[in-house]
Amino acid sequence: MSTVLIIGAGVNIGLPVAKRFASAGYKVAIASRTAPENSEHRHFVFDAANAATVPKLFSDVTAAIGAPKVVIYNAYAWKLADTEDPLTMSLNDFEYSISVNTISSFIAAQEAVKSWAQTGTKGTFIFTGNILNVRCLPNVPGALVFAMGKSAAASLIQGASYGYKGKGYKFYYVDERKEDGDPAFEGRSGEAHAEHFIKLVDSLGQGPWMQTFVKDKGYKQFNELHGQ
């Protein structure tokens, strides 16, 4: 029985994903600062703002239920800022956001690769993304720094998907959209994410690293340029 580690166990996406993987026969580890109420999954206390603790999370999960074959990075930090003066965000808020959205995701991917190499596993790493790596949303408070984190994570996934393709490791940046390509945001579906994640894990070989998808439709490519 394989193990999935879900970092960031919120009710919107993390827990529906955990439920779906459990139904597929996975041992499920969820990691977050506090344990979700009434969750039947093994919980590990973890703060994504402290990237130095990521290796311990992996070692704890491995010792408790087995080395993760699938790692899903679903943690995020969104710090508000003035839309007309977005560079006024404090250094503390900026560092916190980048730590959660970028640095810890890098270390998590690093630890995943180490684990797969040690166990001979062809694993999958999935980052829960959004449209901000390709489209600026200037009227959304705090979107500038949030987008910086998502863009860096997208670059991580893209580079890793190419670099480790020969080893059979898969890396995906997953972004739910509406039919017209606009971001799902408030209308995003945890269940739809879960189904798409399962498909990516079960697929043979690395697919397109940037997985834009539409609920009940699956993967859909949108012709986008940075700066739209």
Digit-coded pLDDT (tens) for 60-97: 999 999 999 999 999 999 888 888 898 999 999 999 99
Measured CA to CA in angstroms, residue 202 lies from 41, 194, 222, 223 at distances of 22, 12, 23, 26
DSSP one-letter code for 29: E
Among the listed residues 200, 132, 127, the one whose alpha carbon sits nearest the alpha carbon of residue 159? 127
Instruction: Examine the residue annotation and report whether 170 is marked as an active-site residue of this protein.
Output: no
Query: What is the rounded CA–CA span in Å between residue 13 and residue 26?
Result: 17
Tens of each residue's pLDDT in the chain, 228 residues? 999 999 999 999 999 999 999 999 999 999 999 988 888 999 999 999 999 999 999 999 999 999 999 999 999 998 888 888 989 999 999 999 999 999 999 999 999 999 999 999 999 999 999 999 998 887 787 788 999 999 999 999 999 999 999 999 999 999 999 999 999 988 899 999 999 999 999 999 999 999 999 999 999 999 775 433
**What pTM value is reported for the model?**
0.95
The 10s digit of each residue's pLDDT in 53-62 is: 999 999 999 9
**Marked catalytic residue, from 69, 150, 170, 215:** 150
What does the block give as tokens for 62? 């491995």
